[in-house]
Structures are given as structure tokens and as C-alpha cells.
Structure 1
Amino acid sequence: MAIDNTPMLVPHLVVGDAAAALDFYAQAFGAEEMARIPGPDGKLMHAAMRINGAMLFLNDDFPEFNDGKSSTPTALGGTPVTIHLHGPDVDGRFQRALDAGATVVNPLEDQFWGDRYGIVRDPFGHHWSLAESVRDVDMAEIMAQMGGAG
């Protein structure tokens, strides 16, 4: 493997079943698997995929390497992070995620800032917002909608 030090920022998800997560993300979001590295017990130590042209890492939960604590969203009682996917055909992409097993957190609706936007929870507890820009909105209108000064 060639050395590559290209600067990047890569979200890294911890899940309860990384192999199932890879399958889900392929079905729900069109993820392209790049790498899968199993550990000695069959759990995935590392996996990489590409969604919307961006890299995403994930691995199975390994409490033994985290002070004995699970770090999945389910174990933590939720997630403070939302992964955002922006692009065309948000209605189709939102439905595709639901058909693959995601659940609605916020329904897909036209928003005052000009996007059609909604949030789903994947079967592993991670939140994904999906959006498509549907109209141009200037900052004064956004601020007025938010009750701020324009």
C-alpha cells in the first residue's frame, strides 16, 4: 500500500455490527465500500466507505479499548452528532433510507432557509440529515424567519 498523506477530515462511526452497517449504508445511501479489516474474533477493526464522494470510517464496538465502556449511540443513549448528506432528489434519497431500515427523526419538509430537509436515524443509532436546496434565500430573510435582525 502506497503512503498517502492527503489532508482530510473523516467521520469515524462506532456501531454494534459493522458488517451489517456496511450493508445498510450501501442500501440506504449508496455507500461504496473501500476497505474491511476484520479482527481475530470476526468483529471489524476498521472499515472505510465513500458516500457522496466523502470518506467515512467505521468499526465495531470494542469496549475493552475504551475503558470498558461501549461507545455506540445506543449505549450512550443517543448521539450528539448528525451526518449531513446534501444533493439532488432528496425525496428519493430519504425514502431509500427508510426502505433500508432507517426511522424518521424529523420529517422531510421545505425549510425557511431554502432546503428541503429531514433527519433519519439509522439502525445503529446514528443520525443522518438529508437535504436538497430548493430555493435561493438571502440572509436577511433567514434572519427575519429566525426572529433576528436582518
Structure 2
Amino acid sequence: MQTNSNKNNTTRFAPMLYLKNVADGIEFYKEAFNAKEIRRFSNDDGSVHVAEMTIENAMFHIHEEGSTTSKLSPATLGGTTTVLGIFVEDPDALMSKAIAAGATEISPMQDFDYGYRQGDIKDPFGHNWTFQKSI
């Protein structure tokens, strides 16, 4: 019997973002990206260990940074090697909402000759995001 909330076993990405404080991440992503919290797993001290979330229909997870593993947050590393690209219906609105909630604009929303409208932000935890749609 499958116990997770994802009953659809088709191939897709579900990125795992590492944060120092998952509870803060849950609140930011809800406010900034209209993300929905699907479920969470807490530690014995009440802090959040893992949360499963969605933005529109795109699933992602946020996970507490590991103290003895190589699974570290951008804050600990001082940077990131990944940009999380997400296609949404209204990237302009999502980018504006994210910036109002505390994200930093990296590049403004604009149309590109390769057929995408894109803009980039950095969230308060150091993760880089590209909001985009086909034009």
C-alpha cells in the first residue's frame, strides 16, 4: 500500500530543497509562491524535519539541513549550483508576489527570442528560481 500523497507514478521532478529552518520555508513559500503544504514530518523537539509542498501542480520538498551529511543549505554553502525553473500561468504575478514577500530579483521578467517569458529571483534561503511561461 502506498503511503505518500503522490498516487501518480509518472516520471517527473520533485526537487528537495535544504534549509536551516523548514518551518520558515513553509511560511515563505506559502506567502511568496502560493504554495500549498501537503504534509510535514516533525522532529521530537517540534521543529519541522521535512515538508511536502506544491506550487500549482508542481511538487517539491523542503528538508532540514543535515548536520553530518553533504545535504547542506545554500546559506551554509554560500551559494547554490541549481536554478529551479517552474512554468506557471502568470510568471509576472508570481515573481512580484515573491519579491514582495522577501525574495531578491536577479533578472527582471522579460520576453526572450527563444519563446519564453522569464524572470529570476533568489529566495531568502539562497535558492534561485526562474519563473517562466511559453509565449
- TM-score of the two chains, using structure 1 as the length reference: 0.78
Q: Which has the higher contact order (CA 8 A, sep 6+)?
A: 2
Q: 2:27 aligns with which of 20, 23, 27?
A: 23
3-state SS of paired residue (1:63):
coil
- How many residues are aligned here? 130
Partner of 1:3: 2
Partner of 2:126: 125
Partner of 1:142: none
Separation (CA, whole Å) in 1 of partners of 2:94 and 2:111: 15
Partner of 2:44: 40
Separation (CA, whole Å) in 1 of partners of 2:131 and 2:10: 25
Using a 3 Å threshold, how does the CA distance of structure 1 residues 7 and 87 change in structure 2: closer, same or farther? closer
Partner of 1:137: none
Q: CA deviation at 1:7?
A: 4.6
Separation (CA, whole Å) in 1 of partners of 2:56 and 2:80: 22
3-state SS of paired residue (1:116):
strand
Segments of 4+ in structure 1 off by > 2 A? 4-9
Contact kept in structure 2, 1:84 and 1:128, CA below 8 Å: yes
Structure 2 counterparts to residues 111-150 of structure 1, below 5 A: 111-134=112-135
Separation (CA, whole Å) in 1 of partners of 2:88 and 2:57: 11
RMSD of the TM alignment (CA)?
1.8
Q: CA deviation at 1:59?
A: 1.5
Contact kept in structure 1, 2:18 and 2:71, CA below 8 Å: no
Separation (CA, whole Å) in 2 of partners of 1:128 and 1:42: 29
The range that moved more, 94-103 or 81-90, is 81-90
3-state SS of paired residue (1:23):
helix
Using a 3 Å threshold, how does the CA distance of structure 1 residues 90 and 54 change in structure 2: closer, same or farther? closer
Q: Which has the larger radius of gyration?
A: 1
- Aligned partner letter, 1:56: F
The alignment-based identity, stated in percent, is 32
Contact kept in structure 2, 1:118 and 1:130, CA below 8 Å: yes
Separation (CA, whole Å) in 2 of partners of 1:37 and 1:12: 14
Q: CA deviation at 1:43?
A: 2.7
Separation (CA, whole Å) in 1 of partners of 2:61 and 2:94: 21
